Amino acid sequence: MPVRPFHTSSVQYIFQGNGVLATWWRRCSSEMRIRGSLVLLMHVLLCLVSGAYSGRTSSYVRNEFPSDDIPLEHESLAVPNGHNAPQQVHITQGDYDGKAVIISWVTALEPTRSEVFYGEQEKHYDRKAKGRMTNYTFYDYRSGYIHHCLVDSLEYNTKYYYKIGTGDSAREFWFQTPPAIDPDAPYTFGIIGDLGQTFNSLSTLQHYVKSGGQSVLYVGDLSYADKYEDNDGGRWDSWGRLVERSTAYQPWIWNSGNHEIEYMPDLGETSTFKPYLHRYATPYLASKSNSPMWYAVRRASAHIIVLSSYSPFVKFTPQYKWLKKELKRVDREETPWLIVLMHVPMYSSNDAHYMEGESMRVAFEEWFIKYDVDLVFAGHVHAYERSHRVSNVDYKVTSGSRYPVPDESAPVYITVGDGGNTEGLASRFNDPQPDYSAFRKASYGHSTLQLKNRTHAVYQWHRNDDGKHVLADKVVFHNQLEERPCVATGPH
Ligand SMILES: [Fe+2]
């Protein structure tokens, strides 16, 4: 039976665009060409039909955003107008109880006075605070002039306006102080980690600033400047400009990650955390820490403990000794919510960085249970995961009891390493999902924690894989002391 001829030019183009198919196209007869073309057309039609079907039935179709860093000329990284104008403005809590802030900024071209003018009325700056200035070099990069200024003796629950810089280069911002330390003081934290500076990072930030969050608990890995060949210190500057839309207006409680270590002996850089420590001040002395890498703050109804995953923490180290004392200082009558931040998660079922938090779990998990820690937030793994309340404190090398067990006295462990950096998502999880894992998803996003009163908090995870804001996980947490009225007395 003769095969009816049909127009094959477009199919011929597809075939000729491929080396192997082009060879076949040249060698085969016209009938074979027509049959081959029909097979290809059928395949294309089937793909179209199945694609349309899955688009209707799938609840979520992810669009791939580029994971490259935002180009330096993009408006989101723009240098502010005015000669040597202050840039990369960021504030953090400046004391133990929230009546002070540290205001930091960079002047790129010249040293200037480290002065902040501030007051309770817009454009009326009746007070002035003086700070200090620093800078550093890193291989072939020379930083701008980094200013840190403590503004203290503030009133609670008050909006302050502040100005830095002078003349045409002056810039103005504002911040709101938290309520006084009170067990029923409502307060909303954002939780962000591993942010970087891609368009996914920008999406996370844009969604966070609309979330109602009043302060960010940051769980480490900031700029990812170390991802550049020979390290690109300029990417620390662009990151500071990217996040300024939030950091200039509310305190971010800083913590470091592995991308802040920047130990690069091949470049002659052997002091660890050099850019991070120059740029991001923490109020560590107020909590009697001897290092800006680990410290604690109290804010509204929360006591927040910041631990450094990449600083020594085994028995007898300064961080270990400090944490032991800090846990004794926690007064749950004043701050019923006890929250710990670290970079490397102690419980994660993602293939990426699996078990990397085990050494800190061995060191501190027993204390977290004894002291009724409510929540432990971590980053590092570029995905989202929330655990059930579990513990593995019975595990000893010889006990054989090595599997985590349900434990109502244990914290909930939450990984929020999904800010959106250039390394992309960690999408491979252990299969099957282990019992300790309550919810997990490899998507970009951020979390919010609304402390309602001394007993209840509303926790939410917001994902933004495709640039859209979607509420993807929501839990009402009961305070640990409400469930277990017995208060622990001290670490072992
Ligand atoms: Fe990390």
Residue tagged 């029909």 (tokens): 38
| SS3 state of residue 448 | strand
Q: Are residues 301 and 482 in contact, defined by beta-carbon separation less than 8 angstroms?
A: no
Q: Are residues 405 and 393 in contact, defined by beta-carbon separation less than 8 angstroms?
A: no
Catalytic residue (one of 353, 382, 388, 446) = 353
Residue type, 300: A
Distance, in Å, from the CA atom of 449 to the CA atom of 238, rounded to the nearest integer, reads 28
Distance, in Å, from the CA atom of 332 to the CA atom of 351, rounded to the nearest integer, reads 36
Residue type, 199: F
Residue tagged 């082009």 (tokens): 22
| SS3 state of residue 316 | coil
Q: Are residues 42 and 11 in contact, defined by beta-carbon separation less than 8 angstroms?
A: no
Distance, in Å, from the CA atom of 451 to the CA atom of 183, rounded to the nearest integer, reads 10
**Burial (CB count within 10 angstroms: exposed 0-12, middle 13-18, buried 19+), residue 53:** exposed
Distance 379 CA to ligand 1 centre (A): 7
- C-alpha dist (Å) from residue 435 to 145, 205, 364, 379, 405: 50, 32, 22, 21, 9
Distance 344 CA to ligand 1 centre (A): 7
Q: Are residues 411 and 368 in contact, defined by beta-carbon separation less than 8 angstroms?
A: yes
Distance, in Å, from the CA atom of 325 to the CA atom of 288, rounded to the nearest integer, reads 9
Position 468 scores a pLDDT of 85
Distance 350 CA to ligand 1 centre (A): 13
Q: Are residues 193 and 447 in contact, defined by beta-carbon separation less than 8 angstroms?
A: no
* Token digits of residue 200: 């996914």
Distance 394 CA to ligand 1 centre (A): 28
Q: What is the pLDDT along the chain (492 residues), one digit of tens a residue?
A: 333 332 323 323 233 333 333 333 444 444 444 454 443 344 333 333 333 322 222 234 344 555 899 999 999 999 999 999 999 999 999 999 999 999 999 999 999 999 999 999 999 999 999 999 999 999 999 999 999 999 999 999 999 999 999 999 999 999 999 999 999 999 999 999 999 999 999 999 999 999 999 999 999 999 999 999 999 999 999 999 999 999 999 999 999 999 999 999 999 999 999 999 999 999 999 999 999 999 999 999 999 999 999 999 999 999 999 999 999 999 999 999 999 999 999 999 999 999 999 999 999 999 999 999 999 999 999 999 999 999 999 988 888 888 999 999 999 999 999 999 999 999 999 999 999 999 999 999 999 999 999 999 999 999 987 778 899 999 999 999 985 544 434 443
The CA-to-CA distance between both ends of the chain, in Å, stands at 89
User: Is residue 492 flagged as an active site residue?
Assistant: no
Distance 146 CA to ligand 1 centre (A): 25
Distance 259 CA to ligand 1 centre (A): 6
DSSP element (H, E) containing 440: strand 437-441
> How many Å is the maximal CA-CA distance in the chain?
97
